Amino acid sequence: MYDDQPVQAGMRERLAVLAADMATLRHDVESGQLRLDPEAGQQIRDMLARQMEQVDGWLAQARGLARRAPLGQNPVGDAMAAKFEERAGGGGTSFTAVFTSYRQVLQDTDDTVEEAMRRYRDVEERTSETFKRLAQ
């Protein structure tokens, strides 16, 4: 039988790294260390939107798999059906749980990029207002 524990541990580790990177990015934006040109930010947000759409499709498919497969009314069939159902829709490292966590990281990243763009526009507006006052 295939042991997927190393794969599951790898998925958890990778999601933890992505979440930590996202927290660092959010901190840099909130502290004013990072602002993002709206044009570049929109390109990033478009890419994130495409990725979120793809993850939404994966989630729909995983949810469709999260049911007991009709593998027969016997101990082996029951055990395998339960195993497949858990891998698709159970907690922890199931497909659904992993895709949901990944989707949240993507959404958090999109929100942070949007905030970085807003901060860039705010600085640009303040700078423009300062120049207008100096020109008067």
pLDDT tens digits for range 41-88? 999 999 999 999 999 998 888 887 767 777 778 877 777 777 766 766
Q: DSSP state, 33?
A: S
Give CA–CA dist 43/36, Å, rounded.
11
pLDDT of residue 53: 97
- Under CATH, what is the fold of the domain 37-135? Helix Hairpins (1.10.287)
SS3 sequence of 42-107: HHHHHHHHHHHHHHHHHHHHHHHHCCCCCCCCCHHHHHHHHHHHHHHHCCCCCHHHHHHHHHHHHH
pLDDT digits (tens, 9 = 90+) for 83-104: 766 766 666 667 788 888 899 9
Distances (CA, A) of 124 to 36, 76, 110, 117: 11, 66, 21, 11
pLDDT of residue 42: 95
Quickly tell me which residue has 């840099």 as its tokens: 28
Percent of the chain scored above 90 by pLDDT?
34
pLDDT digits (tens, 9 = 90+) for 2-32: 455 666 667 778 888 888 888 898 899 899 8
Degrees to nearest 5, angle at CA 43 with 12 and 57: 45
| Maximum distance among all Cα pairs of the chain, rounded to whole angstroms | 87
